[in-house]
């Protein structure tokens, strides 16, 4: 019996060693090591076919995304509302630290001491312009930001493609920024302390909204946080698109399909609200924190956008996370580090209206 147990343990040890060696090999690429989580995901996930833009596929994609994002943190009140948008009601999900009292001037008791209003962060979700509209998906991200900054976070459910093509999403996102400024005090916020946060397609929309706000004398924002943003949808491919556009979860074919769904057959991919990187002028925009991932095909356009902002006199900090894929979903440590950096930058921007991120000449790995 003892001999059988020793043999079994020996076989198990060999199997575990073999699995560890295989997993290590999966992390090795010609461009540097992948984080273990992304490496396992790339090698173990089933192959994906072309994107299905049907409502049923959107629900499935939303459910998958919800399973991969962090859970809601305690101490944050969440409520849903909407406002009259450019083409009908725009749903919003609002996150408020529970110690911050939301009340209108009419509701406030006579003689009561007003609490310090909080900053307001408008959060524009990702999802390739076609999914992510179940705002509960982003409860973890938004509640963490609300608690840790702290701030009132307004998450926007903008219209999605292909049912609603460009500029519908930009119109809704910009209208939400206007609404947030107009209603900041009612939410317990300060209309003079606004910021924007967007991931992936949401980062693209943040870029469009800041350009529009500058050109239309819209709300001034203290900071724009762009996390793995899509800053150019033009057909010219960057080096990172050529290197990582196949085999690293977000493919160039998928990007092309989402771009076509968003713009339609007659859309202009060089329009500055579509490709902020191609805008003729970037001066007068809010400072930026730009977070990129090493193995993301969108990486180089985002980092070039940061360089163009700096050349235009706009403070912009670019941080590249080595070993990570687009979205950081399978790199929990990188995701936490990105959150900490975002919180610190927002706190500085809200505390000092003249603060801007460091103007570093090259992307720098956070850790």
CA-CA distance, 254 to 296, in Å (whole number)? 13
171 is known as an active-site residue: no
In contact, 240 and 297? CB cutoff 8 Å: yes
For the sheet with 288-293, list strands across it.
Answer: 76-85, 88-97, 152-156, 118-124, 189-199, 224-227, 288-293, 316-321, 364-365
Give me the catalytic one of 326, 331, 337, 339.
326
Residues 274, 140, 291, CA angle at the centre, nearest 5°? 45
Instruction: Kindly state the helix (H) or strand (E) to which residue 240 belongs, with its residue range.
Output: helix 239-244
Helix 201-215 to helix 168-183 angle (10° resolution) is 70
In angstroms, the CA 19 to CA 107 distance is 62
Tokens of 139: 């409860």
Residue with tokens 């409520």: 79
**Among residues 171, 172, 190, 200, which one is catalytic?**
200
Instruction: Round to whole Å and give the CA distance between 327 and 335.
Output: 8
Q: Are 300 and 238 in contact (CB under 8 A)?
A: yes
In a 13 Å sphere around the CA of 350, the CA atoms on its Cβ side amount to 23
| Residue 157 annotated in active site | no
Q: How many residues does the chain have?
A: 367
Please tell me which residue in 171, 190, 296, 301 is annotated as part of the active site: 296
Active site annotation includes 296: yes
The string of DSSP codes covering 187-223 is GTEEEEEEEEEEETHHHHHHHHHHHHHHHTT----S-
Active site residues: 200, 296, 326
């Amino acid at each position: 019996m003892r001999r059988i147990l020793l043999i079994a343990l020996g076989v198990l040890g060999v199997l575990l060693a073999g699995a560890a060696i295989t997993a290590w090999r999966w992390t090795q690429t010609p461009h540097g090591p992948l984080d273990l989580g992304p490496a396992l995901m790339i090698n173990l996930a089933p192959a994906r076919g072309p994107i299905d833009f049907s409502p049923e596929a959107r629900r499935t994609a939303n459910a998958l995304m919800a399973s991969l994002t962090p859970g809601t943190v305690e101490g944050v009140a969440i409520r849903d509302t909407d406002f009259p948008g450019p083409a009908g009601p725009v749903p919003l999900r609002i996150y408020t630290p529970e110690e911050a009292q939301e009340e209108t001037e009419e509701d406030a008791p006579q003689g009561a001491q007003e609490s310090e209003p909080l900053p307001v962060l408008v959060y524009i979700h990702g999802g390739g312009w076609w999914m992510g509209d179940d705002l509960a998906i982003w409860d973890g991200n938004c509640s963490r930001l609300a608690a840790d900054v702290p701030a009132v976070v307004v998450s926007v459910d903008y219209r999605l493609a292909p049912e609603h093509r460009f500029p519908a999403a930009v119109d809704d996102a910009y209208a939400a920024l206007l609404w947030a400024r107009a209603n900041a005090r009612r939410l317990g916020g300060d209309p003079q302390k606004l910021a924007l946060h967007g991931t992936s397609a949401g980062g693209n929309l943040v870029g469009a909204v800041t350009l529009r706000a500058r050109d239309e004398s819209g709300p001034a924002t203290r900071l724009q946080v762009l996390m793995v943003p899509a800053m150019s949808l033009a057909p010219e491919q960057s080096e990172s698109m050529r290197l990582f556009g196949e085999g690293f979860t977000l493919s160039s074919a998928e990007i092309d399909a989402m771009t076509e769904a968003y713009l339609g057959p007659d859309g202009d991919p060089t329009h500055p609200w579509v490709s902020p990187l191609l805008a003729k002028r970037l001066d007068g925009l809010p400072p930026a924190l730009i977070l990129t991932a090493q193995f993301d095909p969108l990486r180089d356009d985002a980092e070039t956008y940061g360089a163009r902002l700096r050349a235009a006199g706009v403070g912009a900090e670019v941080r590249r996370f080595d070993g990570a894929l687009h979205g950081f979903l399978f790199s929990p440590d990188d995701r936490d580090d990105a959150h900490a950096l975002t919180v610190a930058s927002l706190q500085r921007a809200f505390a000092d209206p003249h603060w801007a991120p460091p103007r570093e000449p090259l992307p720098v790995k956070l850790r």
